[in-house]
Chains A and B, each alone.
Chain A
Amino acid sequence: MSHHRPSGVRRSPALLASLAALAAVAALWQPYAPDAVDLTLRNVGMSWTHPMGTDHLGRDVLSRILVGFANTLGAVAIVASVCIGVGMAVGILASSLQGFARAVLLRTAEFASVVPNLVAAIAIVAMFGNGTLVVGLALAAGAWGPHALLAFGLAERARGETYVRAATALGAGSAHLLRRHVLPAILDTQLAYLGAKIGRIVIAYSALAFLGLGADSSRPDWGAMLFEYRLMMFDQPTLMLWPGLAIVLLCVALREAIGWDKDAPARVSSP
């Protein structure tokens, strides 16, 4: 397939910045203590004082959603940074090396692409304990592979581009070329690919929390809330609504903020 740059990918840095700012505020301030149990206020419906109501233990649902938002965005930011940073570094390095070293890097990236993300993350987090950094790295353990293969393909193609060859003929150094021409094009495509799959990263993080492997089991997390509230399904179905809606909204917002390439899944060949 002959893509040079994803065409028509719109991103919104303002939306991304607002999400980050909102997460920072949510981490520091909630209307109520998210774990404050008040058995006199159980299952209160939506009101001005409790916009999302309270749960079966009288905890303010909005406060719990806010803490979960900060946790989720923090972990997803780690996964995204590792995917793009390591992916680009390995891909470009492989493209500049020859022979055995190149083969080792590419085979490693292929292997990472084969490992199912959620399964690897379940095993790693279950064995090494939790924490935002561990969970983020566990989810990134396999996810960087396709990014590296994509970066490698683009770097190889860039070397053959007429404008790059022309610049070389005019005496431009390879570092300058990389910085001015190759990197921006690769970063653009990496972001579009990340945008196309960022929702899955959010969902994988929530799934870990649902299975009891969230970043911090002592703090509310959307997946963990769903696991707990699913037992209240018969009496309080609305409790299940909020964390699920939060996940869906964050997936859609991140997708739009980063921008996504319609053909992204088609452009990374499976090893």
Chain B
Amino acid sequence: MGRILGEVGRAAIHLLAASALAFFIVRAMPGDPAVLLLLAQGQAADPATVAALHAQWGLDRSLPGQYAAWLGDFLAGDWRTSFRTGRPIFEEFAARLPVTLTVGFGAFALALGVAGPLAEAAAARPHGWQDRVLDAATLGAQAVPGFWLGCLLIWVFAVELRAIALFEAGPQRYVLPIAVVALAVLGPLAQVYRAGLREVARSDYVRAALARGAPRARVVAQQGRRYAALGLLSTAAAEAGTVVGGTAVVETVFGLPGIGQFVVDSIAVRDFFVLQAFFMVAVAWMLLASLAARLARRLVAPGGFCDVAP
């Protein structure tokens, strides 16, 4: 229990660091945010209106006071209003969250579901076709941009195959976006899992078990999976970053009304409160993924292995 509290404490400190960074990046921006907002809305930046906005955002206080006010508001769900739509950013994000989570979690689930069996088959039969597919997926994750793949898929399905149904409202809209993001993370996940399985297969521990007469496949399956799962979990936490970046790009390509698309539309008018909120949400997502992976590692290997990656 104490350990779990320690993990949560670590995540909280990271989140605090992220909030300080997000706040000071906006303050370091050239220009007065109130003037920028009024200009973006096409209003005259007269001193009275600017002063009123400053008071509303707490910009008339000292810098630490400003940060405290901003953080308090942020934690209370007041993420300021969007320049572009004039609505509270928290509401805008909340309304679009289901779309983004569907793509993100769907892609994660699909990638993990394929990576496991693929890596086990590849580890069992080196140079077999699964092994080659896995290497190709790894290269694909390192060389094929998701937004290009997305455009090509639209061209193939919408233009060539006339499968327009894939782009109409309904659950089938998510098929191609999920596939594109899943392909970007499948390679690294499967690669790490395969590497872990191979390491176990070569270990003294397995040799000793074989010498005692235990069947090889069973030893590797029982002990290997647990050990390899540790590496897989660490990598999955790191790949959560690829997923969050990937959803932003894929939503733009496929025209899905998610958080990513909203943020990309906000770029042109430098809607910096939206960018600030997006940064915070992305870091929170990463910390949740990291926390989940750490707790899962504890469940997989309560005592830890003696020769485990740090």
State the A residues within 8 Å of B (CB).
1-2, 107, 110-111, 113-120, 122-124, 126-128, 146, 153, 196-200, 203-204, 206-207, 210-213, 223, 226, 230, 233-234, 237, 240, 243-244, 247-248, 251-252, 255, 262-263, 265-271
Contacts and interface: CB of A to CB of B under 8 A. Distances in A.
Contacts of A226: 147-148, 151
B245 A118 contact: yes
A113 B289 CA distance: 13
Contact of B151 (A1, A113, A115, A233): A233
B195 interface: yes
26 contacts: A111-B18, A114-B18, A115-B241, A115-B283, A116-B282, A116-B286, A120-B279, A122-B278, A123-B22, A126-B270, A128-B29, A146-B238, A198-B142, A200-B242, A230-B151, A240-B148, A240-B151, A244-B151, A247-B143, A248-B145, A255-B143, A265-B192, A270-B235, A270-B238, A270-B293, A271-B290
B244 interface: yes
Nearest to B188: A265
A116 B283 contact: yes
Contacts of B8: none
B145 A203 contact: yes
Contacts of A263: 195
A167 B223 CA distance: 40
B28 to A, nearest CB: 8
B278 A211 contact: no
B159 interface: yes
A116 B142 contact: no
Given A123-B275, A126-B267, A207-B147, 10 more contacts: A2-B307, A107-B13, A119-B241, A126-B272, A200-B142, A210-B147, A233-B151, A233-B159, A240-B152, A252-B143
A262 B7 CA distance: 30
Contact of A197 (B142, B147, B263): B142
Interface string B7-42: 000000110011000100110011000000000000
A270 B290 contact: yes
Contacts, number: 171
A255 to B, nearest CB: 6
Interface in B134-177: 139, 141-148, 151-152, 154-155, 159
A125 to B, nearest CB: 9
Contacts of B142: 196-200, 251, 255
B276 interface: yes
B47 interface: no
Contacts of B147: 206-207, 210, 223, 226
A270 B145 CA distance: 24
B103 interface: no
Contacts of A268: 238
B270 A119 contact: no
A127 B143 contact: no
A252 B151 contact: no
Interface in B262-295: 263-264, 266-268, 270, 272, 275-276, 278-279, 282-283, 285-287, 290, 293
B197 to A, nearest CB: 11
B149 to A, nearest CB: 8
Contacts of B154: 230, 233
A149 to B, nearest CB: 9
B226 to A, nearest CB: 16
B225 to A, nearest CB: 16
Given A111-B14, A207-B249, A244 B267 contact: no
Given A122-B248, A240-B151, A212 B267 contact: yes
Contacts of A153: 310
A155 to B, nearest CB: 13
B278 A119 contact: yes
Contacts of B196: 266
Nearest to A128: B29
B115 interface: no
Given A267-B309, A269-B309, A270-B235, A126 B275 contact: yes
B290 A1 contact: no
Given A126-B270, A127-B275, A266 B235 contact: yes
Contacts of A266: 191-192, 195-196, 231, 235, 309
A2 B202 CA distance: 13
Which of A116, A198, A212 has the most chain B CB atoms closer than 10 A to its own CB?
Answer: A116
A247 B148 CA distance: 9
